[in-house]
Amino acid sequence: MMAEVKAGKINCIVVKDLSRFGRDHLGVGEYLEQLFPFLGVRFIAINDNYDSLHSNVESDELVIPFKNLINEAYCRDTSVKTRSQLEIKRQRGDFIGSFAVFGYRKDPENRHRLLVDEYAAGVVRDVFKWKLEGISAGDIAARLTASGIPTPMDYKRSQGLRYSTSFRLKEESVWDAGMVLRILKNPVYTGTLEQGRVTTPSYRVKRLVVKPRAEWAVVEHCHEAVIDRYDFETVQKVLALDTRTSVSGRAVELFSGLVFCGECGGAMIRKTVSSGKKKYVYYVCAAHKNEKTCYAHSLRVEALDEIVLEALKKHIQDVIDLSNLLELTDTAQLQQAGVRKLRDRLEKKQAEADRWQTLLRSLYESLQDGVIDKEEYQDLRKTYSRRRAEAEEQAGAIQEEMSREMGNLSEGRGWMGQFRKHQNIESLDRTIVVSLIERVLIFRDRRVEVVCRWHDEFSWQMDLLRQAQGALPGREAV
């Protein structure tokens, strides 16, 4: 419209009232007082009884800007109330998206609640299973496309939803690695809603701004989970690994991204050596191979497989034995007593930090009253500041320890079930390796150390058991 106004095709604009024309009092004022008079355009607001051709200059200069301010204030107030209500819903665990995530559908009786869509949820489970097996996101996408599985966008449209996106380039879209990764990284499939990730600076500015993660609205157990939480955490771990696809191109190698040098901490890489018609595959230290900064040590893949399998079997049995003993021993009171003890220590350290802060504040008064001189003031100020900082640092360490203890309390023994369901393994596969092993260390004396997942929880539960029953007889952890 403004293009036609500037071209001289329109010389009169009529609106219901000033708020229909705009709620930005500065912008509206610029149009009414400068642009329209300059272009010779007549402006009429019917309900506000305003006509620029027959306006009362003195009264309009006061009334019209005031009305524009009220219109803008109404818009600002509405924006604040809307944002506040949406935040309340997010913190309550209500789903406020326009469309349900692939794998779910909205409850017909409550549009803020998600229900499992069995067909799409089956696809999501397959995606996670294939990733745990070591298949890349690109290969998973190709497999889904070859199987004729509709993409999330096409599936929504097939359900009669009026879903559209600016990313669509073809009439029928195909799966790609980006779609697969968005599914693999979305915690909604564990029953957790993460909302409020982006916002706008104000109701005037529509530019999206990503909020710090601490300000997101994260609520657990909002709906039925499609993926087990432990499997989801394992997939996140796999996505963070530096992996390589095998020669066949179908899946990554068994220990890809998990083998490290026990001497320098760097990655161990696979090296294939041909001898006649035979091929031998070794793990060698990358630092020695590339920069000669570590020891020349290696280990054949077949030997590593056997060592890791036996170590994992032993640790699985250790975990099962520990679980059985814990069921016979009441450690709950011991755990809670440990948390209470840490809380008491934290309160004492915080009180100590407050005491040093109080002494710091009283120093200046002592200086003014002549109790201490300037040199004593400087010395005491440094001493009190140092001791306050030390107390605050110690309080922070206790707070972290207490958080870990409370996390262990909430975690419980669910992780033990991950080992128990693999208690009869006879061979290794990628899913077992990434689910139970955190890393494998190879030393120059050909010693192998297998660090299993949840090793901190294992040690913590062992300590609790020892405190409750005395020393635990039997095996040591790997």
pLDDT winner (highest mean) among 206-220, 268-282, 411-425: 206-220
The predicted pLDDT at position 334 comes to 54
Point out the least confidently predicted range of 63-72, 170-179, 263-272, 338-347.
Answer: 338-347
Point out the least confidently predicted range of 64-68, 128-132, 346-350.
Answer: 64-68
Q: Residues of the chain with pLDDT > 90: what percent?
A: 30
Q: What is the pLDDT of residues 127-151, one digit of tens each?
A: 999 999 889 899 999 999 999 999 9
User: Which residue has better confidence, 329 or 102?
Assistant: 102
Tokens of 446: 């050909």
Interacting residues of 428 by C-beta distance below 8 A, sequence separation 6+? 254, 305, 308, 309, 312
pLDDT winner (highest mean) among 109-113, 464-468, 470-474: 109-113
The predicted pLDDT at position 331 comes to 54
User: Cα dihedral angle (466, 468, 474, 478), rounded to 10 degrees?
Assistant: -50
Calculate the average pLDDT of the chain. 84
CA angle, residues 186, 188, 193, in degrees to nearest 5: 115
- Closest Cα to residue 153, out of 137, 129, 169? 169
- Closest Cα to residue 296, out of 271, 318, 329, 332? 271
CA angle, residues 118, 98, 119, in degrees to nearest 5: 10
Alpha-carbon distance of 31 to 37, in angstroms, equals 8
Q: What is the pLDDT of residues 441-460, one digit of tens each?
A: 999 888 999 999 988 888 87
The predicted pLDDT at position 412 comes to 58
Three-state DSSP state, 14: strand
User: Which residue has better confidence, 362 or 168?
Assistant: 362
Alpha-carbon distance of 382 to 290, in angstroms, equals 50
- Give the model's confidence band at 236: pLDDT under 50 very low, under 70 low, under 90 confident, else very high: very high
The predicted pLDDT at position 472 comes to 41
The predicted pLDDT at position 451 comes to 93
- Give the model's confidence band at 181: pLDDT under 50 very low, under 70 low, under 90 confident, else very high: very high
**Residues constituting the chain:** 478
- Closest Cα to residue 190, out of 145, 240, 236? 236
As a whole number, mean pLDDT of residues 410-430 equals 82
Alpha-carbon distance of 123 to 360, in angstroms, equals 63
- Closest Cα to residue 453, out of 233, 229, 127? 233
Interacting residues of 325 by C-beta distance below 8 A, sequence separation 6+? 465, 469, 472
As a whole number, mean pLDDT of residues 33-53 equals 85
As a whole number, mean pLDDT of residues 153-170 equals 69
Q: Does residue 169 have a pLDDT over 60?
A: no
Can you name the residues that pair with 260 across neighbouring β-strands? 267, 441
Long-range contacts of 453-456 (CB under 8 A, 24+ apart): 453/415, 453/418, 454/415, 454/418
Axis crossing angle, helix 374-411 with helix 455-469, rounded to the nearest 10: 90
The predicted pLDDT at position 473 comes to 46
Q: How far from 476 is each of 322, 325, 408, 471, CA to CA, in Å?
A: 11, 15, 21, 12
The one-letter code for the residue type at 50 is Y
Point out the least confidently predicted range of 68-77, 227-236, 310-319, 335-344.
Answer: 335-344
The one-letter code for the residue type at 416 is M
As a whole number, mean pLDDT of residues 31-60 equals 82
Give the distance from CA 234 to its chain's centroid: 14
